[in-house]
Amino acid sequence: MMKKQRSSSIGSETELSNLNEDMLFEILKHVDAPTLAKASCVNKKWKKTSNDERLWEIICTRHWVNIGCPEAQVRSVVLAFGGFRLLHSLYLRPVLKATAQSQNKSSTIPTKWGKDEVHLSLSLLSIRYYEMMDCNYKGRQK
Amino acid sequence: MKRTHHHQENGGYSGEASYSMENTTGNGLDLGKAEMMCWEEDNFLEQQQDTGEDELLAVVGYNVKNVDLADVAQKMEQLEMMMNSSVHQEDGFLSDAVHYNPSNMSSWLESMLSEAELTLPPNFDTSCLAAAGLINYNEPFQSSSSIDDNLFIVPPTAESSTTINFPNPINPQIYNTGGDEEEEQQLNPPISDYDLSVIPVNEPIRPVVLIDSSQENGIRLVHTLMACAEAIQQDNPKLAESLVKQISLLAVSQAGAMKKVATYFAEALARRVYGLYPQPSYDSSFSDILQIHFYETCPHLKFAHFTANQAILDSLVDSNRVHIIDFSMKQGIQWPALMQALAMRPNGPPKFRLTGVGPPQPDNTDALQQVGWKLAQFAENLHIEFEYRGFVANSLADLDSAMFDIRPNETVVVNSVFELHQLLAIPGAIEKVLRSIKEMKPKIVTIVEQEANHNGPIFLDRFTEALHYYSTLFDSLEGYGYSLSPLNGQDLIMSEMYFGRQICNVVACEGVDRVERHECLDQWRNRMKSAGFSLSHLGSNTFRQVNSLLSVFDGGSGYKVEENNGCLLLGWHTRPLVASSAWQICDSNIKSEVN
């Protein structure tokens, strides 16, 4: 609604907010985690695009050192247990922050994410999934 | 000390009042010194006679042995307090009783006190208990600068009153805990009980001034706990009973971790004293629930699982089939992380077979099977070929290797988290289980146990160890649990109950029922070595991962991981709490894996 009111007055803002989804997607491929998170708060369209798992996968894997595992494998594991966005917000970010703090570096997230931190985050993600599974599961559903 | 005055003043002996040792504030230490000099002189004189009885009292018709003097004085005081308190009662205890000849002072006092069914008066000053540890009968009197390290002396303050008491036969240890649990010192080794009758006559008794401080109640509480345990150790149920009541009163006045610990120990002691041994807990579903909450509030289980899983992972590098036998199945929360890590192996996951062992359930539900289904569903997400079997057993010793259906070409792993110590309650059980494990030819055996010695032969030692260990644990709950989930009080309470049950078992149970027989890492090392296992060192990447884990959940509050000759220890500040180790079969025919 704000956009419609403004559309007559300021032209450049309209263009940005009416951006083509694919274009937005391409742009968001290159932003960092905080920016991507903020982008999901702009409006519904942006939220839908920003929450795309592929974008968060890029965020997560961009600075991974070689964790000794093909991407496809990682992808299937992470997607099965909640996705990259969840992985990042719940575990990757806090783990890295904590590691940096404990090593007395600055509290900003380091650019290289080591094997240990990644594996730890993945373990915690899978544990969380298991804990939240239905406890009364009694039979195979397939 | 006041005897010197009596020499000069009235020469006569006027009953119990003259032996009251009350000293007013301020001149305590000075007066003490002066009087001590006189005392020394007295004894010097007495040496010359050497009849074994107090000369002065004998003159006026009372036979008191020198060696009994201290005891007599103390009993006099107790009697005086008793009489004062019973003044307003209608049935004075003096009315109908028959008492021994008062000329035999000791036994007369004894009869008076037992007639009145003496319980320790409410204001029984436990300072005398402290003083007990401070009197050193082997040293002649020296100046206060060379006083024992154990001495607890605080400079007098104006508002407190002091009492000098002769030592009481109970001899607890001295703690410098106060309210500062996190810096608890190591316990002093137990001071052996002294027997008044072996005190040489010419040794002076050094009076001590003990002043109330702000941490008085906490110290009293600890002293009383120890005194009660000692009373139980010495088979003195009446004293133990009265002390248990004391503890309950004192515990109420405490706050925080100390209060909770004291309450649990008090209950355990009460159970032991009154013979209300708790039934062996077959309610495993409840303890499972407690353990889930424990998992959330403490890093102990996370530490256990992560270290064990890493060791297992390292041993499965070349395997395509793995069979894990888990003695501590519970909710199976250890295995999702391992399965996930296996799924991310470059050569894909192995075939995963899990056998879980658990206790019988009271309500006939098959908890093990339900856990199996849950894990199966989880494994499906990871496209891991999963096979599961559950075994219900009252005790691990009931199992043997044939039951597990070990197939050829599968890598066997045995895992036990906080389970093996229970076998120590039954003679021969642990050896049998270790033999069975060996028969299964596992690639690796992961063992996690509490790092404490709660299985010593002497009750008092076990009690002391447990008090120290669980105080540290409750401290860590306070410090860590609250910061973690301040709104989740339920988790915290459940964790406390989880520990409370252990406390009750360690203190109140005996024999087969006492299953919480924790032992230290070194004891387990010896046991495993003599059973034919050799240590498989936990790698440095395990250490790093666990440190990361702690920093996420801990946020810099007191938990630390340290390495100990290939094993890892989780500790709260300086006190280790949990030990994790990995073992393989020591066999010259089998090439040992080099990590």
Three-state SS at B572? strand
Select the residue of A73, A94, A127 nearest B344 (Cβ to Cβ).
A73
**Confidence at B51, pLDDT banded by 50, 70, 90:** low
Are the C-beta atoms of residues B382 and B337 closer than 8 Å to each other?
A: no
At B446 the pLDDT is 95
Question: Looking at the whole model, is its pTM more than 0.80?
Answer: no
Alpha-carbon distances of B293 from A119, B417, B496, rounded to whole Å: 24, 16, 10
Select the residue of A69, A74, A127 nearest B336 (Cβ to Cβ).
A127
Closest to B394 measured CA to CA, from B359, B421, B426, B425: B359
Q: Do A98 and B552 touch (CB under 8 A)?
A: yes
At A108 the pLDDT is 57
Highest mean pLDDT among A5-9, A31-35, A64-68, B433-437: B433-437
Q: Do B333 and A131 touch (CB under 8 A)?
A: yes
Q: Do A99 and B344 touch (CB under 8 A)?
A: no
Name the percent of chain B lying above pLDDT 70: 62
Q: How far is A127 from chain B (nearest CA, A)?
A: 6
Cα separation, B223 vs B126, in Å, equals 7
At B552 the pLDDT is 79
Strand partners, B411: B322
Q: Give B431 or A116, the one with higher predicted confidence.
A: B431
**Is some CB atom of chain A closer than 8 A to the CB atom of B370?**
yes
Q: Do B378 and A129 touch (CB under 8 A)?
A: yes
Strand partners, B65: B53
CA-based nearest residue in chain B for residue A104: B556
Q: Do A119 and B556 touch (CB under 8 A)?
A: no
Q: CA angle, corner B454, sides to B452 and B456, nearest 5?
A: 120
**Confidence at B281, pLDDT banded by 50, 70, 90:** low
Residues of B in contact with A137 (CB under 8 A): 370, 373-374, 377
**B325-339 mean pLDDT:** 92
Q: List the structure tokens of B447.
A: 């063992």
The lowest-confidence range among A7-21, A46-60, A85-99 is A7-21
Q: Model confidence over B208-246: pLDDT tens digits?
A: 444 444 467 778 888 888 999 999 888 888 888 888 888
Q: Where do the domains of chain B lie, and which CATH numbers do they carry? A: 212-276+452-515 (no CATH), 299-451+518-585 (3.40.50.150)
Residues of B in contact with A122 (CB under 8 A): 340-341, 344
Q: What is the DSSP-derived secondary structure letter of residue B385?
A: -
Torsion over CA: B276, B392, B327, B336 (sign): negative
Tell me the helix, strand and coil percentages in chain A, rounded to 5.
Answer: 65, 0, 35
Select the residue of A76, A95, A137 nearest B373 (Cβ to Cβ).
A137
**Is some CB atom of chain A closer than 8 A to the CB atom of B377?**
yes
At B540 the pLDDT is 86
**B302-311 mean pLDDT:** 94
At B137 the pLDDT is 33
- Residue B135, pLDDT > 60, answer no
**Is some CB atom of chain A closer than 8 A to the CB atom of B483?**
no
Q: Model confidence over B28-45: pLDDT tens digits?
A: 444 444 444 444 444 444
- Residue A4, pLDDT > 60, answer no
CA-based nearest residue in chain A for residue B347: A69
Select the residue of B336, B370, B552 nearest A130 (Cβ to Cβ).
B336
**Is some CB atom of chain A closer than 8 A to the CB atom of B154?**
no
Alpha-carbon distances of B528 from B207, B314, B429, rounded to whole Å: 52, 21, 14
CA-based nearest residue in chain B for residue A77: B382
Interface test with A, best of B301, B333, B373, B554 (most A CBs within 10 A): B373
Q: Do B545 and A120 touch (CB under 8 A)?
A: yes
Q: List the structure tokens of B473.
A: 């644990």
Select the residue of B340, B547, B548 nearest A122 (Cβ to Cβ).
B340
Are the C-beta atoms of residues A64 and A98 closer than 8 Å to each other?
A: no
Q: Do B306 and A123 touch (CB under 8 A)?
A: yes
At B410 the pLDDT is 92
**Is some CB atom of chain A closer than 8 A to the CB atom of B549?**
yes
Strands of B176-241, DSSP E: none
Residues of B in contact with A120 (CB under 8 A): 545, 548-549, 552
Residues of A in contact with B373 (CB under 8 A): 137-140
The complex scores an ipTM of 0.80
**Is some CB atom of chain A closer than 8 A to the CB atom of B373?**
yes
User: H/E element holding B444?
Assistant: strand B444-450
Q: List the structure tokens of B196.
A: 């008044």
CA-based nearest residue in chain B for residue A121: B549
Closest to B11 measured CA to CA, from B3, B19, B20: B3
Residues of A in contact with B387 (CB under 8 A): none
Highest mean pLDDT among A112-126, B46-60, B118-132, B378-392: B378-392
**Is some CB atom of chain A closer than 8 A to the CB atom of B560?**
no
- Residue B61, pLDDT > 90, answer no
Q: Do B548 and A98 touch (CB under 8 A)?
A: yes
Cα separation, B404 vs B415, in Å, equals 14
What are the domain boundaries of chain A?
Answer: 21-102+112-139
Residues of B in contact with A129 (CB under 8 A): 336, 378, 381
Q: How far is A79 from chain B (nearest CA, A)?
A: 10
Residues of B in contact with A96 (CB under 8 A): none
Q: Average pLDDT of chain A?
A: 77
A–B interface: beta-carbon pairs under 8 A: 89
Cα separation, A64 vs A112, in Å, equals 6
Residue A72, judged by CB atoms within 10 A of its CB (0-12, 13-18, 19+), counts as exposed
Residues of A in contact with B378 (CB under 8 A): 126, 129-130, 133
Which region holds residue B142: left if phi is over 0, alpha if psi is between -120 and 50, else beta? Answer: beta
